[in-house]
Amino acid sequence: MPLLGAHESIAGGLHLAFDRIERVGGAALQIFTVNQRQWRSAPLEPEAIRRFRERWAQCGGMPVASHASYLINLAAGAPDTAAKSAAAFVEELRRCLQLGIAFVVIHPGSHGGAGVEAGLARAARQLELVLERAGALDSDLKILLETTAGQGTSLGGRFEELGRLLAASRFSAHLGVCVDTCHIFAAGYDLRTAEGYGRTMAELERHVGVDRIHFFHLNDSKKECGSRVDRHEHIGEGCIGPDGFRFLLNDSRFARLPMVLETDKGDDLAEDAENLRRLRALAA
């Protein structure tokens, strides 16, 4: 069975995300290492790093990913935005190196009207730049390019765009893919039938390669297939429905990969616990 978990808050301290994921019975975790709505953040305190690593070890070393700030646009054409994006992402990679986090998830960016070709070229250059500047080339860190819904001028709504980014980099060993079920469904990849799921995975294998997938986001979709609108829904309550998740969870190619929820929740995390229960039932 895949390693099922959720994105959890770091409110009160980075280490407390492990308390939350344990509370819902998760086996994988995603966090923001800092406030994702700010360009700059204070450096991590040594005590915060120590407590995070200690608590992680107590949880058995479960897979952990960081999700980079939504402000970062690797494909930005405006020099100011490109520079701020690079600086913010370098800081994120350095924080993850300090914490020992091996996976950093990021959206490929938006070309802003310049076209897919220009956007992919900019993103490829930025990925190489940030890996060098962060000092990550001698580490096991991987930047995971997240599939997107293809909304507006966003890159990553087509698998071939992600494949081209992977192939374009000199540092391809430090790049991989995070697949978001809501996003690919909204982008037009149907998961609801065995035939649709098979076609989707064949396209993913063709353009990306299953071996380049290291993480999943498990989200149902409030919007229909091909809507290109990114709106997450609880498992089995959206337009994907339970069968799409059943196909994925029982796909032997992904049997030990981390898969995390990114669905709404209250302070008691009851929604996470229920969604994980549903996923485990579908995997049975």
**Cβ atoms of 142 and 176 closer than 8 Å:** yes
C-alpha span between 233 and 247 (Å, rounded): 18
C-alpha span between 114 and 124 (Å, rounded): 15
C-alpha span between 182 and 176 (Å, rounded): 19
- Given a cut of 90, is residue 37 above it in pLDDT? no
Q: Is 146 a catalytic residue?
A: yes
For residue 152, the tally of other CB atoms under 10 A from its CB is 12
Q: Is 197 a catalytic residue?
A: no
Q: Is 15 a catalytic residue?
A: no
Give the mean pLDDT of 118-138: 98
Q: Is 203 a catalytic residue?
A: no
Look up residue 235 and give its DSSP letter: T
- The pLDDT, as a whole number, for residue 19 is 98
Q: Is 262 a catalytic residue?
A: yes
User: Which of 94, 158, 183, 234 does the annotation list as catalytic?
Assistant: 183
Q: 182: closest CA among 250, 247, 249, 228?
A: 228
User: Which of 67, 214, 246, 278 does the annotation list as catalytic?
Assistant: 67
pLDDT per residue as tens digits for the range 42-70:
999 999 999 999 999 999 999 999 999 99
C-alpha span between 268 and 280 (Å, rounded): 20
Q: Is 180 a catalytic residue?
A: yes
Residue 41 burial (10 A CB sphere; 0-12, 13-18, 19+): middle
HEC readout, 105-149: EECCCECCCCCHHHHHHHHHHHHHHHHHHCCCCCCCCEEEEECCC
- Given a cut of 90, is residue 36 above it in pLDDT? no
pLDDT bin (cut points 50, 70, 90) of residue 1 is: confident
Amino acid at 267: D
- The pLDDT, as a whole number, for residue 244 is 98
**Cβ atoms of 263 and 33 closer than 8 Å:** no
Q: Is 138 a catalytic residue?
A: no
Q: Is 67 a catalytic residue?
A: yes
Q: Which residue has the tokens 């966003």?
A: 154
User: Which of 217, 234, 246, 278 does the annotation list as catalytic?
Assistant: 217
How much of the chain exceeds pLDDT 70, in percent?
100
C-alpha span between 29 and 27 (Å, rounded): 7
User: Which of 146, 161, 220, 272 does the annotation list as catalytic?
Assistant: 146
Question: Could you tell me which CATH class the domain 3-283 is placed in?
Answer: alpha beta
Q: Is 217 a catalytic residue?
A: yes
C-alpha span between 128 and 109 (Å, rounded): 15
User: Which of 107, 122, 234, 278 does the annotation list as catalytic?
Assistant: 107
Q: Which residue has the tokens 């700059």?
A: 40
User: Which of 23, 50, 70, 268 does the annotation list as catalytic?
Assistant: 70
Q: Is 7 a catalytic residue?
A: no
- Given a cut of 90, is residue 179 above it in pLDDT? yes
Side-chain-side CA neighbours of 120 within 13 Å: the count stands at: 17
Q: Alpha helix locations (H) across 10-115?
A: 16-23, 46-58, 79-99
User: Which of 37, 80, 195, 256 does the annotation list as catalytic?
Assistant: 37
Q: 75: closest CA among 63, 89, 55?
A: 89
Distance of CA 246 to the CA centre of its chain: 20
